Amino acid sequence: MAGMELLSDQGFRIDGRKPNELRRIRFKKGVFRQADGSAYLEQGNTKVLAAVYGPHEIRGSRSKALHDKLLINCQYSMATFSTQDRKRRPRGDRKAQEMTSHLKQTFDAVVLTELYPKVQLDIFVEVLQSDGGNYCASVNAATLALMDAGIPMKDYVIACSGSHLRDTPIVDMNNLEESSGGAEVVMAVLPRCEQIVFLEMNSRLHEDHLSGVMDHVMVGCKDIFNVLNQQVQDELCQKTQLDKLVTTG
């Protein structure tokens, strides 16, 4: 793109954001009635749906059951029309399988799995529109869906990506920034106790910059947490007030 830089001299990114600015986050919990929990989340132009089924009896072969804890089963798929060029398959490719195992690992670390031995929990994530940060949006949506399903967790899990451009750390990358070939650090954290449950880095980044980027990504995660938590609490307050009205007649 001629004349367009990932980070301009004035310090603005390609979509007009400041380096540490997030994209707009909008979400809705409980979008489906059949699933036990569900959530729809938009981070900028990335749109994700997550559904949670369970805990329920193990489906398929019983040998998968874990005798001391909950089995978490994930599936990550992308709608064939979600990307700029049409995808031929919604799932089953290497990228989707990798995402699936990343999600499983992330939620294994945060769900209180020891409370539900010998049963299974399904987390299904569907990317409807992809504009960078698919993993992050998937994790955030799945957290909300788990909350909607009432699954006990240690904390929220919030994921955010970040990079380093022209000596400036940036957070919450979009598709253009991701595909520019620069470094990308993806983190999923428990924002309140600042624990990292997932960390991944693509491409190369100088060791000296790593901690700076990670600090900014952590701040980004906390910002996302504040946005999500604010709305979750507000909805909860509204609901309890409504319930009170009902009980008092």
Partner 1 sequence: MGDAGLSEAEKTFILHSVQDDFREDGRGNEDFRHMELETSLISNTNGSARVRLANTDVLVGVKVQLTPVDPERPEVGRLEFFIDCSANATPAFEGRGGEELGSEISAMLTRAYAFPGAVDFHSLCVLPGQQCWLLYVDVLLLECGGNLFDAVSIAVKAALFNLKIPNVTMTKDEGGVELDLSDDPFDFKRLDVSGAPIIITVNKIGHYHVVDASEKEEECSLARLMLGVTEKGTITAMRKEGSGSLDPNSISDMMEVNTRFLCLPGI
Residues forming the site for partner 1 (CB under 8 A): 32-35, 38, 45, 47, 49-51, 53, 59, 73, 75, 77, 79-84, 86, 90, 122, 124, 126, 128-131
Which residues face 52 on adjacent strands? Answer: 37, 123
27: which 2 tokens? 């979400």
Q: Nearest approach, Cβ of 32 to partner 1 (angstroms)?
A: 5
Distance between terminal CA atoms of the chain? 63
Q: Nearest approach, Cβ of 232 to partner 1 (angstroms)?
A: 21
Is the CB of 82 or the CB of 113 nearer to partner 1?
A: 82
Alpha carbon dihedral 47, 108, 95, 139, in 10-degree steps, equals 20
CA 202 to chain centre: 18
Is the CB of 35 or the CB of 71 nearer to partner 1?
A: 35
CA 109 to chain centre: 14
Is the CB of 51 or the CB of 136 nearer to partner 1?
A: 51
Q: Nearest approach, Cβ of 114 to partner 1 (angstroms)?
A: 23
Q: Nearest approach, Cβ of 30 to partner 1 (angstroms)?
A: 12
Is the CB of 37 or the CB of 169 nearer to partner 1?
A: 37
**Distance between CA 244 and CA 249 in Å, rounded?**
8
* Three-state SS annotation for 98-149: HHHHHHHHHHHCCECHHHCCCCEEEEEEEEEECCCCHHHHHHHHHHHHHHHH
Q: Nearest approach, Cβ of 236 to partner 1 (angstroms)?
A: 24
Is the CB of 34 or the CB of 248 nearer to partner 1?
A: 34
